[in-house]
Chain A
Amino acid sequence: MKKYLTLIGLLMVFSFGLAMFSGCAEKQAVVKDESVQEQKAVSAQAAPVKETDDEVARRAKEQTEREAALKAQAAKEAREKKNAAALNDLNIQNIYFDYDKSNIRSDAREILKANAEIFTKNSSATIVVEGYCDERGTTEYNMALGERRAQETKQYLENLGINASRIETISYGEERPLDSRSTEEAWAQNRRVQFLLK
């Protein structure tokens, strides 16, 4: 009986150490939600006897995951800042749209011409065209509308001589407003296409 107890004790220490080790190994990796969830599901099915070990291991793992996620987030923010700074230097401007419309307005044409010149000068960069909507209306429809705005903009840039293979589009629908107020002024700011060079 005593033998078993020491064996269990050893196992506990061992599995704790293992968890710490695997946690450290994961520090460098970017957190993958899928694998985390699968592992959670597996550990939930494990024998209930080892619950406390699992709990300790899980906490240790979660801690390292949180740290890794924070790191990744900080790196991402730094990147975004750098990109934003670069964009500011290049003076690429947003274009704006009318409510529930995706056609390029006349005031946007001049901006797109100026932007296209910048894109031509930076010929190695990929251009990400991001479509956005104001908060009114349905999430799904707005995701489609944002995509339509990005597509129309892409088409316009192609007509100005930018190679289609350099342009990517993405829609954020109504999910990323520049101005979160619910006013006509805010909505006008939020119905936009933004550009990102990468």
Chain B
Amino acid sequence: MEKQSFFKLLIFFILLCVSCMHNTAFAKVYIDIDAPGFQQFPIAICDFQNKKGGAAPSSDFNTALADSIRHYLDLSGIFNVLDKKSFLEGLEPGTPETIRFSDWSVIGADFLLRGDIITSQNDVIVESRLYDVTRGQLLFNKKYSGKTGDLPAMARAIAADILLALTGDEGDFNTKMAFVIKKNGQSDIYTMDYDTSNLKNLTNHQNIVAAPRWSPDGQYLAFTSYKGGRPEVYLRHLKTGKEKKISSFKGLNLCGSFSPDSKKILLTLSKDDNEEIYVLDIDTMTLKRLTRNYSIDVSPTWSPDGKKIAFVSNRSGSPQIFIMDTDGNNVKRITFEGNYNTSPSWSPRGGRIAYEGLINHKYQIFSVDEEGHNLMQLTFDAADNEYPSWSPSGRQIVFCSRQGSRSRLTIMNSNGLNARILKESKDYLVMPTWSPRFK
């Protein structure tokens, strides 16, 4: 009995603290989701309660918001979002003190999100509270204000705060994907939001278009296009849609990745009669050659700390992944299994490089550390799995998966588990690249 009242007092104090802090979510790392034994977070998301307000709230905003949050958490791959039909507790409005945590733990929820909505005309204020069910604690209590049309953005913000509170990282909710759709010998770049909404055709070159790359500041997309009759590199300002040709040397001009500060871009050029990697300063347009080897050097990608570059070279007889310093020195091979390893993508958290490799006549996704150790095969199915790209959180990888005439964009957790299909098409979906986080 004494324990319980102490408990209540504790909750009261936490509430007091939180209401003082209000808009600062707990950045406490709750559980290490990268641990090998990690199980998905079982979470219950209640429909929001319509609280008093001026005009009648739009009829289904409260359930739509909860549905949207459920969808985002589901997509993140680290939540087991419980079916609301299993909820024992009814929808009667309740203060935190009246939550019967045992009702939630018995259905298997470790975490619980509840909240209220106050609407007046088009303005919406959403208050959401995340509870740790097993400890009976409030983890955050936060208000979000916006318009009724901002529902997806609000859902993303709440989902991001849940992830931040539980893992110390806001996740990948505010991100997009760029990818190429190949159709009848022509290809173009498309973008869509992480939740697959908002599909947009970015280029309409009706020609060969390849290798889209986001600038880390989110302002630009660089890519290779044959629209001028040969492979040249373009830089597109995403807000204005203005396109600028930034590399049109003789022979091959292929787009590589941006530097972490978005000021430089890596390129593959054959202007010196051999495919070599160069770095171009975008402001000054000064070019510096990085590789000197009579073989193919291609697909350069910058490390997140800006100190190294991973790339593909066939200097040892077959395409393999190599790493070098940003001045081109200290070249080191890091893949040794198999005879076709390409498409390196560096984890934003550093440490690991994902790539595609040929094994048993199929392309599969692998990851390996920067020393070439701790090789992991991440995909095993009967499809060809290619073009891996990490999410900004470093927790997910998007790739394309092709089997017969069926083509898919798929995301999986970075350990290869929990693959989810994002998009499926009869056209050929290739080269997905994950954007940085947008504010």
Contact = CB atoms under 8 A, between A and B. Distances in A.
A91 to B, nearest CB: 26
B431 interface: yes
A127 B299 CA distance: 29
Interface residues of B, number: 41
Given A137-B342, A143-B231, A148 B296 contact: yes
B45 to A, nearest CB: 37
Interface stretch (B99-107, B116-124, B270-278, B364-372): B270-278
Interface string A178-195: 000000000000000000
Contact of B312 (A34, A141, A176): A141
A54 interface: no
Identify the interface centre among A38, A100, A139, A171: most chain B CB within 10 Å of its CB.
Answer: A139
B252 to A, nearest CB: 4
Interface residues of chain B: helix, strand, loop or mixed (majority):
loop
A37 B204 CA distance: 9
B379 interface: no
Given A41-B242, A169-B251, A141 B299 contact: yes
Given A33-B205, A138-B387, A151-B274, A143 B252 contact: yes
Contact of A143 (B241, B254, B430): B254
Given A41-B242, A139-B430, A33 B204 contact: yes
B270 A147 contact: yes
Interface string A146-185: 0110010000000000000000111111011000000000
A172 B230 CA distance: 8
B210 A147 contact: no
Contacts of B356: 138
Contact of B210 (A139, A151, A170): A139
A40 interface: yes
Contact of A100 (B240, B319, B343): B319
Given A170-B230, A175-B185, A144 B268 contact: yes
Contacts of B205: 33
Interface-centre pick from A40, A138, A173, A176 (highest chain B CB count, 10 A): A138
B79 interface: no
Contacts of A141: 296, 298-299, 312, 319, 342
Nearest to A164: B273
B210 A140 contact: yes
B24 interface: no
Interface string B296-319: 111100000000000010100011
The 4 closest A-B pairs by CB, nearest first: A138-B342, A144-B298, A41-B241, A147-B252
Interface of A: 33-34, 37-38, 40-41, 100, 137-141, 143-145, 147-148, 151, 168-173, 175-176
21 contacts: A33-B243, A37-B241, A37-B243, A41-B241, A138-B343, A138-B387, A139-B211, A139-B430, A140-B210, A140-B211, A140-B268, A141-B296, A144-B254, A144-B298, A148-B275, A151-B251, A171-B252, A172-B208, A173-B208, A173-B210, A176-B185
